[in-house]
Amino acid sequence: MKYMMLIHQGTTPTPQDPEAWGKLSKEEQGAVFAAYQQLNETPGVTTGHGLQSPETATTVRVQDGKTLTTDGPFVELKEALGGYFIFDGEDLDAAIAVAAKVPAASMGGGIEIRPIQEW
């Protein structure tokens, strides 16, 4: 079964936030990088990408045949989607075990697991 693993950063320090990232020791920063490297090498994981902050997003809607664009979405930091990857594993328990290894899961964020619908 394939799962989309959505990384909600929450209050997780990231290199994109130099102030928060700088509060981590060099050892903690190294551990975060090592954990992501290990995830990328996990069987069944297809690496995804980190996302820029929500302020850089554009939302598109079509209303009455007209394409409308707005900045955003406007979300609380704790709800912001920070990245994603795909996991192809045996079942939800296997996906949960992988999600638990994502640093954001233990540093103030959360990992949303969604089965991928195959047509």
DSSP secondary structure letters along 55-79: GG-EEEEEETTEEEEEE-----GGG
pLDDT reading at 77 higher than 70: no
Higher pLDDT, 94 or 8: 94
Q: Is 40 left (phi over 0), alpha (psi -120 to 50) or beta?
A: alpha
Alpha carbon separation from 116 to 14, 83, 107 (Å, rounded) = 27, 16, 26
In three-state secondary structure terms, 90 is: coil
Over the stretch 33-58, which tens digit does the pLDDT of each residue have?
A: 999 999 999 999 999 988 887 788 88
Query: How far is CA 118 from each of CA 1, 3, 47, 105, rounded to the nearest angstrom?
Result: 9, 11, 19, 27
Level-2 CATH architecture, domain 2-115: 2-Layer Sandwich (3.30)
pTM (predicted TM-score): 0.82
pLDDT in tens, 79-108: 678 899 999 999 999 999 999 999 999 998
CA distance from start to end of the chain? 13
Spatial separation of the C-alpha atoms in residues 23 and 26, rounded to whole Å: 9
